[in-house]
């Protein structure tokens, strides 16, 4: 398949490279001029998407998604599939779908979970919104870039699933970090804390798979001085999206709001900028 990939950052570049390794003809465009292994560099957005069967975007925010899709739909050939893998607000995702539909194109919103490691290894999880026909066309590409693709519903459903999932993640990571902090204050050994919580009712992804305590459990960013696997800045972005969605939908998400406020303070004045989102524990330990 001829594929155009727009946005070759930390996530987009390895995703595009995996498609190229699988034998697809991939052209890539990034406003910063970066490239990806095996991907033919395009000088312009138009060059990357003209005559292409599928266009995949991985972009920073909803405003950029809207602007880029407005350009793409003017260049893409009839019947092409547009897959937006960015994490953005639901309204922007639906706006991108509307532009595609009006241009006679298939479209999917397909944000991902798995971080840069999952992007490189091809083990991402895709949360996908769009029609059955669009999902069927995109599924072989998801199978190359990831290990699982869940069709969550119609336009915007992928973003809704991502926002809800990451709200759970933000809340649970704070809870795990506070539990380790309390264990420290009570003189409880961290390994003992892990051995109990990871195999009992405290079990969750934030402790079992991504433990914030260095040297405890499977290897995680905590073992690499909290260099980001998933940056605190990105968690704050996702929690902001969850609260915008909650306000729009009239949903009560008190813990989601509190988690957003904690990460905002951590990123903006608590030394969390540029660190992994699990470094909340390091901040608490130094208090």
Decide if 162 is catalytic: yes
Q: What phi and psi, each to the nearest 5 degrees, are found at residue 21?
A: -60, -30
Q: Is 58 helix (H, G, I), strand (E, B) or coil?
A: coil
| Catalytic pick among 137, 162, 237, 283 | 162
Contacts (Cβ under 8 Å, ≥6 apart) of 220: 209, 210, 211, 212, 229, 278
Pairing of strands 25-29, 2-6: parallel
Rounded to an integer, what distance in angstroms lies between the CA atom of residue 217 and that of residue 208?
7
- Give the containing element (helix H, strand E) for 208: helix 205-208
Cβ proximity of 78 and 104 under 8 Å: yes
Tokens coding 245: 């969605």
- Closest C-alpha among 123, 92, 100, 107 to residue 14: 123
- The catalytic residues are 162
């Amino acid at each position: 398949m001829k594929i155009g990939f727009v946005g070759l950052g930390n996530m987009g570049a390895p995703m595009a490279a995996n498609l190229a390794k699988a034998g697809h003809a991939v052209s890539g465009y990034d406003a910063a001029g970066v490239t990806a292994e095996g991907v033919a560099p395009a000088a312009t957005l138009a060059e990357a998407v003209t005559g292409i069967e599928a266009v995949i975007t991985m972009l920073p925010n909803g405003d950029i998604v809207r602007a880029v899709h407005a350009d793409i739909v003017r260049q893409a050939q009839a019947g092409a599939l547009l897959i937006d893998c960015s994490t953005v607000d639901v309204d922007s995702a639906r706006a991108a779908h509307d532009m595609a539909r009006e241009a006679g194109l298939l479209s999917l919103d397909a944000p991902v979970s798995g971080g840069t490691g999952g992007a490189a290894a091809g083990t991402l999880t895709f949360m996908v919104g769009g029609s059955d026909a669009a999902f069927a066309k995109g599924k072989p590409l998801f199978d190359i870039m990831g290990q699982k693709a869940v069709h969550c519903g119609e336009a915007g459903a992928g973003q809704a699933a991502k926002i809800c999932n990451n709200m759970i993640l933000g809340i649970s990571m704070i809870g795990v970090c506070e539990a380790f902090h309390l264990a420290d204050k009570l003189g409880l050994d961290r390994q003992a804390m892990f051995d109990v919580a990871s195999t009992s009712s405290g079990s969750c992804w934030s402790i079992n798979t991504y433990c914030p305590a260095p040297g405890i459990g499977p290897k995680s960013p905590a073992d690499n001085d909290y260099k980001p696997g998933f940056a605190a800045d990105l968690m704050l972005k996702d929690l902001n999206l969850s609260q915008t969605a909650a306000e729009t939908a009239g949903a009560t998400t008190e813990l989601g709001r509190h988690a957003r406020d904690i990460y905002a303070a951590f990123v903006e004045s608590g030394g969390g900028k540029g660190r992994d989102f699990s470094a909340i524990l390091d901040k608490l330990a130094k208090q």
